[in-house]
């Protein structure tokens, strides 16, 4: 098969597309992939690292307020459609997969106009603007949350497929995760991560927590700051701490996130859809702090879905502080029965075969 993948801006849109491509090439090594994104998005770095051919188009998202910039965005969209049609005609894909973010708008739209089968994947409980727009043109709309189907009543066909990021995290080695942190197997690890780019509120809580971590005995903390926050967070933690903290592992980014995730006991995280898919696939208890700076507040809806199932606790960012968060962590870790119930609830929500479900859909809709 020949498949075009598109989606970008954040890791939450990029990694599901990459996961689908990886699944297809594992099932059939002769599969050819092309990823279409933007030069400014994270996809321009992440996708080439995955050895997937990458092409860029120039496109920006709409502003929520009336603005002349939106007129320019419409013009860029039309130019993006023309550029996408050129790339699609050259590559001749059997199908196109869009995973959200404004970049996939012109690509999926162009594919639909050229008669190429299209699949749109929505990761969040509340769909984004681009996927809502594309739903009327796509042959299949796949959703990660069952409750999302009601937002796509006008779609030709919807499929509850979960998030493809869940599939590959199950292959991660716990032992390698412990080894990468320099810890013995079965250590109690609390992983705290504020998304692929990091988050200021997370880092401020990390700084407040650092001198208090000794209150929790035999617990190892992994703080993932995000590259842009790493130096400042490191400096601030040194200022507030009496000396080195041997049970604190401070890193800007984790290249082996699935392995460290598999080695963790509890995760403190944003509630982006891809992260939640990985955590539920592993049956990972979590404390979720949804970002308030996302379209339609969809991260809170994501987090609430897990909280109501008993798989997670939720702390709103406006309530977040280091002492409060440490108290929540301590309470959960001390209650072994509750920790196990959270594991079971998370596992029940997981869909580890998501990537293979989507691969099967693409094979069925392959252009003849």
pLDDT for 287-340, tens place per residue? 999 999 877 788 999 999 999 999 999 999 999 999 999 999 999 999 999 999
Phi, psi of 197 (to 5 degrees): -105, -5
Mean pLDDT for the stretch of residues 276-290: 94
Say yes or no to pLDDT of 283 above 70: yes
Mean pLDDT for the stretch of residues 135-155: 91
Say yes or no to pLDDT of 138 above 90: yes
State pTM to two decimals: 0.77
Phi, psi of 327 (to 5 degrees): -65, -45
For 49-103, what is each residue's pLDDT tens digit? 999 999 999 876 555 555 555 557 678 889 999 999 999 999 999 999 999 988 9
Average pLDDT, the chain: 91
CA distance 108 to 195: 26
Looking at the chain, the domain(s) classified CATH 3.40.50.2000 span 2-165+352-364, 171-349
Is 296 known to sit in a ligand binding site? no
Is 12 known to sit in a ligand binding site? yes
The pLDDT assigned to 166 comes to: 84
Question: DSSP letter string over 90-133?
Answer: HH--SEEEE-SSTTHHHHHHHHHHTT--EEEEE-SSS--HHHHH
Fold of 171-349: Rossmann fold (3.40.50)
Phi, psi of 140 (to 5 degrees): -140, 135
The residue among 322 and 146 whose pLDDT is bigger is 322
The pLDDT assigned to 366 comes to: 72
Phi, psi of 54 (to 5 degrees): -130, 135
Is 124 known to sit in a ligand binding site? yes
Fold of 2-165+352-364: Rossmann fold (3.40.50)
For 176-191, what is each residue's pLDDT tens digit? 999 999 999 999 999 9
Is 11 known to sit in a ligand binding site? yes
How are strands ordered across the β-sheet holding 248-251? 248-251, 219-224, 188-193, 266-269, 286-288, 312-314
CA distances from 20 to 126, 220, 256 (A): 21, 33, 19
Length of the chain: 368
């Amino acid at each position: 098969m020949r498949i075009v993948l598109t989606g970008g801006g954040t890791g939450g849109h990029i990694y599901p597309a990459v996961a689908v491509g990886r699944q297809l090439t594992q099932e059939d090594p002769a599969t050819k992939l092309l990823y279409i994104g933007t030069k400014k998005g994270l996809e321009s770095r992440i996708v080439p690292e995955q050895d997937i051919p990458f092409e860029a188009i120039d496109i920006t998202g709409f502003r929520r307020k009336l603005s002349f910039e939106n007129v320019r965005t419409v013009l860029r969209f039309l130019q993006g459609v023309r550029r996408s049609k050129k790339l699609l005609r050259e590559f001749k894909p059997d199908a196109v997969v869009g995973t959200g973010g404004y970049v996939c708008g012109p690509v999926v739209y162009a594919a639909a106009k050229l008669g190429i089968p299209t699949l749109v994947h929505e990761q969040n409980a509340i769909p984004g603007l681009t996927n809502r727009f594309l739903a009327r043109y796509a042959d299949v709309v796949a959703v990660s949350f069952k409750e999302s189907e009601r937002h796509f009543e006008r779609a030709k066909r919807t499929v509850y497929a979960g998030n493809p990021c869940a599939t590959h995290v199950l292959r991660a080695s716990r032992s390698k995760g412990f080894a990468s942190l320099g810890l013995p197997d079965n250590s109690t690890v609390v992983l705290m991560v504020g998304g692929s780019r990091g988050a200021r509120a997370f880092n401020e809580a990390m700084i407040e927590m650092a001198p208090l971590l000794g209150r929790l005995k035999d617990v190892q903390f992994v703080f993932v700051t995000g590259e842009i926050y790493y130096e400042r967070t490191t400096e601030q933690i040194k200022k507030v701490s009496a000396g080195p903290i041997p049970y604190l592992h401070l890193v800007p980014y984790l290249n082996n996130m699935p392995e460290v995730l598999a080695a963790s006991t509890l995760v403190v995280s944003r509630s982006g859809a891809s992260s939640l898919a990985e955590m539920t696939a592993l049956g990972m208890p979590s404390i979720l702090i949804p970002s308030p700076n996302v379209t339609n507040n969809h991260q809170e809806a994501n987090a609430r879905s897990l909280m109501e199932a008993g798989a997670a606790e939720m702390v709103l960012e406006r309530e977040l502080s280091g002492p409060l968060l440490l108290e929540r962590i301590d309470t959960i870790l001390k209650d072994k029965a509750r920790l196990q119930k959270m594991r079971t609830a998370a596992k029940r929500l997981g869909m580890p075969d998501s990537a293979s479900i989507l691969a099967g859909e693409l094979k069925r809709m392959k252009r003849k």
